[in-house]
Amino acid sequence: MVANVDSNRRPDYDEVLQTLADYVRNYRVASKEALDTARLCLMDTLGCGLLALRFPECTKLLGPTVPGTVVPHGARVPGTTYRLDPVQAAWNIGCMVRWLDYNDTWLAAEWGHPSDNLGAILALSDYLSQRRLALGKAPLAVRDLLESMIIAHEIQGVLALENSFNRVGLDHVVLVKVASTAVAAKLLGASQEQMLAALSHAWVDGQALRTYRHAPNVGSRKSWAAGDASARGLQLALIAMKGEMGIPGVLTAPQWGFYDVLFSKTCSDQAIKPAKQRKFSLPQPFGCYVMENILFKVSFPAEFHAQTAAEAAVLLHPRVKGRLGEIERVVITTHESAIRIISKAGALDNAADRDHCLQYMTAVPLIFGDLRAEYYEDAFHAAHPEIDELRTRMEVKENPEYSRDYLEPGKRSIANAVEVFFRGGESTGRVEVEYPLGHRRRRKEAIPLLEEKFLSNLATCFPARRCNEIVNLFQAPQALACASVNELAELLAL
Mean pLDDT computed over 48-66: 97
Predicted confidence (pLDDT) per residue in 92-123, tens digit: 999 999 999 999 999 889 989 999 999 999 99
Whether residue 332 is predicted with pLDDT greater than 90 in this model: the reply is: yes
Residue 120 contacts residue 92 (beta carbons within 8 Å): no
Confidence of residue 283 (pLDDT cuts 50, 70, 90): very high
Average pLDDT over residues 57-81: 96
Confidence band for 189, pLDDT divided at 50, 70 and 90: very high
So what's the pLDDT on residue 410? 86
In this predicted model, what pLDDT tens digit does every residue of 436-484 receive, in sequence order? 999 999 999 999 999 999 999 999 999 999 999 999 999 999 999 999 9
Judging by beta carbons within 10 Å of its beta carbon (0-12, 13-18, 19+), is residue 195 exposed, middle or buried?
Answer: buried
Please give the pLDDT value at position 274.
44
Quickly state the pLDDT bin for 407 (edges 50, 70, 90). confident
- pLDDT on residue 266: 47
Confidence of residue 276 (pLDDT cuts 50, 70, 90): low
Residue 328, CA distances (Å) to 158, 416, 420 in order: 43, 20, 8
pLDDT of residue 277: 56
Cα(259)–Cα(257) distance, integer angstroms = 6
Each residue's pLDDT tens digit, 153-178: 999 999 999 999 999 999 999 999 99
| Banded model confidence at residue 5, pLDDT cuts 50, 70, 90 | low
How many angstroms separate the CA atoms of 248 and 200, rounded? 7
Residues in the chain: 494
pLDDT classification of 268: cutoffs 50, 70, 90? very low
Which pLDDT tens digit goes with each residue over 336-383?
999 998 999 999 999 999 999 999 999 999 999 999 999 999 999 999
* C-alpha to C-alpha distance for 251 and 13, rounded to whole angstroms: 9
For residues 27-54, average pLDDT: 97
Residues 6 or more apart in contact with residue 443 via CB below 8 angstroms: 296
Looking at the predicted structure, is the pLDDT value of residue 88 above 50?
yes
What CA–CA distance (Å, rounded) separates 120 from 236? 11
Q: Name the packing angle between helices 221-241 and 118-134 (round to 10°).
A: 40
Q: How confident is the model at residue 275 (pLDDT cuts 50, 70, 90)?
A: very low
Say what the pLDDT of residue 409 is.
84
The C-alpha angle 444, 447, 451, rounded to 5 degrees, equals 165
pLDDT mean over 237-249: 98
Residues 302, 361 contacting (CB under 8 angstroms): yes
What is the C-alpha to C-alpha distance for residues 344 and 352, in angstroms, rounded to an integer? 13
CA 123 – CA 85 distance, rounded (Å): 8
Distance, in Å, from the CA atom of 447 to the CA atom of 298, rounded to the nearest integer, reads: 9
Give 61-70 contacts, CB < 8 A, sequence gap 24+.
61/95, 61/224, 62/92, 62/95, 62/96, 63/92, 64/88
Q: Residue 3 — very low, low, confident or very high, per pLDDT cuts 50/70/90? A: low
pLDDT digits (tens, 9 = 90+) for 195-242: 999 999 999 999 999 999 988 899 999 999 999 999 999 999 999 999
Closest Cα partner for 97 from 61, 151, 146, 132? Answer: 61
Name which of 285, 242, 277, 249 is nearest 261 in CA terms: 277
Q: What does the H/E/C string look like for the chain?
A: CCCCCCCCCCCCCCHHHHHHHHHHHHCCCCCHHHHHHHHHHHHHHHHHHHHHCCCHHHHCCCCCCCCCCCCCCCEECCCCCCEECHHHHHHHHHHHHHHCCCCCEEECCCEECHHHHHHHHHHHHHHHHHHHHHCCCCCCEHHHHHHHHHHHHHHHHHHHHCCCCHHHCECCHHHHHHHHHHHHHHHCCCCHHHHHHHHHHHHHCCCCECHHHCCCCCCCHHHHHHHHHHHHHHHHHHHHHCCCCCCCCCCCCCCCCHHHHHCCECCECCCECCCECCCCCCCCCCCCHHHHCCECCCCCCCCHHHHHHHHHHHHHHHHHCCCHHHEEEEEEEECHHHHHHHCCCCCCCCHHHHCCCHHHHHHHHHHHCCCCHHHHCHHHHHHCCHHHHHHCCEEEEECHHHHHHHHCCCCCCCCEEEEEEECCCCECCCEEECCCECEHHHHHHHHHHHHHHHHHHHCCCCCHHHHHHHHHHHCCHHHHHHCEHHHHHHHHCC
What span, in angstroms and rounded, lies between the C-alpha atoms of 318 and 300?
18
Instruction: Give the whole-angstrom CA distance, residue 1 versus residue 313.
Output: 73
Residue 393 has pLDDT above 50, yes or no: yes
Rounded to 5 degrees, φ, ψ at 55 are -110, 115
